[in-house]
Amino acid sequence: MTTGLIPGGHPPEPRPTGERMPQQRHEPVGRSALHVDDRPRSSVITARAAASFEPVGRSVATARSFVRDTLQGWGFADVVDDAVVLTSELVTNAVVHAGTHAEVLCLRADDGVRIEVSDRYPEREVPLQSAHAAMGNLDREGGRGLQLCAALAARWGVDYTPTHKNVWFQLHLPERALGTRAAGPALPPDLLPLADGRVRVAVLQIDRKGSIAAWNDDAEELFGYAPSDVIGKPLTDLAAWPHTPGTATGIAEALQLSRWEGSYGIRGADGRVAQVYASHLRVRDTGGEPSTVCLLVRDHERAVLQTPQRVPAGDQSTGSDGQNADPFEVFIGSPAPDDLDGLLQRTVERARDMLDGDSAFLLLATDDETELEVRASTGLPSARQRFARVPVEAGPGRYGSARMPAVHDDLTAVPGAVPLLAGTGMRSVVTVPLKVEGRLTGSLGVAAEAPGRYSNEEALRLQFAADRIALAVESARLGELERLRRGSLSFLVEASDLLAGTLDRDQTLALMAQMTVPTLATWCAVYTIADQASEPYLSYVLHEDEELIDGIKSLLSKVPPPDPVPTPGARVWTAPGELAHQAALRSSMRSLGLSGGPTHQVAPGIGPTLATASAVGGETVVLPLVARNRVIGMLTLGKPTDEHFRQEILELAEDLSRRAALALDNARLYSERTAISQSLQRSLLPPGLPQIDGVEVEVIYRAAGEGNEVGGDFYDVFPIGDGAYGFAIGDVCGTGPNAAAVTGLARHALRLLAREGLSAPAVLERLNSAILDEGDRSRFLTLLYGELRPQEDGSAELKLVCAGHPLPLRLRQDGTVAASAEPQPLLGVIEDLELYEETVTLDPGDVLLCVTDGVTERREGTRMLGDDGLADVLTTCTGLTAGAVAARIMRAVERFASDAPSDDMAILAMRVPGLQQD
């Protein structure tokens, strides 16, 4: 891939060099001609980034990363997901389907971004708009690129030149209001807010665990703590949060919200509580680590931070009667309608304040409108209740219906009428529906601890407010669903690419878990099933906190695995949570001496036990991994205590499980076939080298090709009898499994024939006949075969036949190197061979080196090692052992060229030790 980045100015047109031909323009199906850019671009180009990608499959992922990094660097995060999806499809068309290079150009302008993808296949047709033309089916592998452009891009088109086809699309940035967002009238000095001297704004940064990570000078001045005194401590140690009896404090929940604004207290170094007004903003760093920035001022100086209420754009003045104010703006205030979490949180806070309640909650309807999902609350344990679901119809009478306003004077008289408030200490409650065009979209409620607090008048006031915000809430909800859908599409594209990039089973399991945690779940476990008769086996466990992985793994090992049901979709699995709670209860009772034993301090194991119980105490679901109509495993997803999964997350997890199942099954099949192949290949190798008295023997063998342990080269050293040993080194024409089959025939035949007492020429002549008998499967073979017999004087006698093989080289003690045999015809070509044997005597200190042509024909460009180069290396091996000689030869061969060897290589070194060494 080659890239270039040119900031500023007007870039040259990204077209092939040469004279530009008239463009062919095709109108996209389903879009009007206005969406095809047939006018010159008037936007000012402020930056340009270009890259070229080779026609290989991995280029698609590289192109996605290039576009994502470029747009994020330009600050265009709003359109990154759409741009990545469109680029992925168009580059796939170019490098996979068209088989050409792809050139990607990103242009930044003041109003958005334009991306162009060019390939070198201009003959590919583009569907024209007509009654009979149709875009590619969404279920097909190809043909979706232009259809996605039509669906996602603001403008798009196709340009043709004689050598290139260029598909471009343009994405506009969401409109953001510029200038004043909120302002107040000019006031006399005596009406301005009062500040004590210099206004001090304390800036705190809270990490994801709720601990203080930063503490500025104003914070030290306001509260009396030096940074070293508070950094690393939980904010809850200092905060005096407004507490509602019977409920959680709520500070942890507030720190998790994208935005929060309100009052609470900070306990100073002098022990006094200072009332502050705070504005919280949730951020993340470049590594994706979330934290919360807290700005705090004295409560009476809240005007510095407090967001003023907005009035409708274009009319900044509001009459004294308030008739010109937008009811939505007056009730909600600052959150923009597209900020769903901020909108919902501000809604429940204002509803609670409006009716002077102790708590408030808001639920949104699911797609089928049969359940309501808790999305925001205040004064309640919101972290525990968030995304919990309750049926639309629950409880007796009209009070149980979310479709009508309801007032409960005392919840103790109607148990279960509002399940959300069970056990919270709330007694009276008023609930009203959120409706859009008569369709139930949610429910808003306000509750108080005292009974009889609300009447029909409060219900009407709350219903009036709900009617004002229902449409904005539904619009924001639909916007969130659309963003989730596009983000999910991008997530699945990346997941499919990662899963397709490996055939290793363990790596596939790890990828499945890493893509799931923490994006979809807090923890996950993968069970695998080897065959239909096997039980599910716990293969992988992952938690976002690595310290909890062992505890969860131990817990799951004590729980019977879930049933391998092939029914698609997620099903709830309660066994882990129940066992975790029981274990935590037993540990707590033992630590308090309530289990029959003596009372003692908290046991060391209770902390991990309680942490594990909290980690798996929420909702746990199981999704089947089905591939080729067989359940091959289960993907288990879990949440911490009292948390639940959203339906959108479960649907995304189901899509991921289908892709992961196929990838896991492919990895299993590949592993099985690789194991079979390796087992068969190992059977073709000699079992081991014999120990020969008076002779050192060393072999180095390298088979070419990934996954090959045996190729066309082979070797063998074996005892014949009467103190004699046979040795052979050969090379079958070709490499890979077909050549390996002939090596097996040759090696076993040599052993059998040699032990029959035949001479070396007779052995090779019969082997030649056996190879020719193979017919079409026969391959010619070069072979050096000999018989070695150690002598009493310390030398060794060798009888050799070199049938078309590279000649063996003899290294003497004085450093001279010479060939030790004459070339004779190779095997497997002619029927009647007349071979003869030659006798060679190795004196003490001599080395006989035998190699295959993969060593001598090692190439680097036009250079080749050759026989002379091998002899030169061997001359440097005087005095080395046989093992050292073989190792030096192999190092020289590997260093001769930078590329991996393309041919099999075998090195056989035999040395007679010198008399002095004996």
3-45 per-position pLDDT tens digit: 444 444 444 444 443 333 333 333 333 333 333 444 444 568 8
Quick one: pLDDT at residue 762?
92
- Condensed to tens digits (0 to 9), the pLDDT of residues 592-607 reads 655 544 444 434 444 5
- Could you count the other beta carbons within 10 Å of the beta carbon of residue 114? 22
Mean pLDDT for the stretch of residues 561-572: 85
Question: Confidence class of residue 138 from pLDDT cuts 50, 70 and 90?
Answer: very low
Three-state DSSP state, 772: helix
Three-state DSSP state, 289: coil
Read off the amino acid at residue 575: A
Q: Of 28, 29, 46, whose CA–CA distance to 38 is shortest? A: 28
Quick one: pLDDT at residue 877?
92
Quick one: pLDDT at residue 294?
93
- Condensed to tens digits (0 to 9), the pLDDT of residues 724-745 reads 999 999 888 866 566 677 777 8
- Could you count the other beta carbons within 10 Å of the beta carbon of residue 509? 20
Quick one: pLDDT at residue 832?
83
Widest CA span of the chain, in angstroms?
124
Which one of 130-139, 224-233, 776-785 scores highest in mean pLDDT? Answer: 224-233
Quick one: pLDDT at residue 737?
64
Quick one: pLDDT at residue 325?
45
Question: Confidence class of residue 403 from pLDDT cuts 50, 70 and 90?
Answer: confident
Q: Give every CB contact of residue 351 below 8 A, 6+ residues apart in sequence.
A: 357, 360, 362, 444, 446, 462, 465
Three-state DSSP state, 24: coil
- Condensed to tens digits (0 to 9), the pLDDT of residues 288-302 reads 788 999 999 988 888
Whole-angstrom Cα distance, residue 373 to residue 443?
Answer: 9
Q: Which residue has the higher pLDDT, 599 or 144?
A: 144
Whole-angstrom Cα distance, residue 114 to residue 150?
Answer: 14
Residue 264, pLDDT above cutoff 60: yes
Q: Give every CB contact of residue 132 below 8 A, 6+ residues apart in sequence.
A: none
Planar angle of CA 102, 106, 112, nearest 5 degrees: 145
Whole-angstrom Cα distance, residue 139 to residue 118?
Answer: 25
- Condensed to tens digits (0 to 9), the pLDDT of residues 98-123 reads 788 899 999 988 778 999 999 887 76
Structure tokens at 788: 């070695």
Quick one: pLDDT at residue 331?
57
Mean pLDDT for the stretch of residues 612-627: 82
The C-alpha R_g of the chain, in whole angstroms, comes to: 39
Mean pLDDT for the stretch of residues 837-850: 93
Query: ω into residue 518 within 30 of 0, thus cis?
Result: yes
Q: Of 548, 544, 557, whose CA–CA distance to 608 is shortest? A: 548
Share of the chain above pLDDT 70, in %: 78
Whole-angstrom Cα distance, residue 743 to residue 149?
Answer: 57
Whole-angstrom Cα distance, residue 8 to residue 16?
Answer: 22
SS (H, E, C) 707-766: CCCCCCEEEEEEEEECCEEEEEEEEECCCHHHHHHHHHHHHHHHHHHHCCCCCHHHHHHH
Q: Of 211, 199, 332, 169, whose CA–CA distance to 261 is shortest? A: 332
Burial of 738 (0-12, 13-18, 19+ CB in 10 A): middle
SS (H, E, C) 803-864: ECCCCCEEECCCCCEEECCCCECCECCCCCCCCCCEEEEECCCCEEEEECHHHHCCEECCEE
- Output phi, psi for 416, to 5 deg: 80, 5
Residue 434, pLDDT above cutoff 50: yes
Question: Confidence class of residue 72 from pLDDT cuts 50, 70 and 90?
Answer: confident
Which of 277-291, 587-601, 765-779 has the least mean pLDDT? 587-601
- Condensed to tens digits (0 to 9), the pLDDT of residues 655-711 reads 888 888 888 888 888 877 777 766 766 666 777 888 998 899 999 988 776 655 566
Let me know: does 496 contact 658? Beta carbons within 8 Å. Answer: no
Quick one: pLDDT at residue 272?
86
Which of 360-369, 443-452, 701-710, 805-814 has the least mean pLDDT? 701-710
Give the bridge partners for 817, in sequence order. Answer: 811
Planar angle of CA 774, 780, 783, nearest 5 degrees: 115
**Mean pLDDT for the chain?**
78
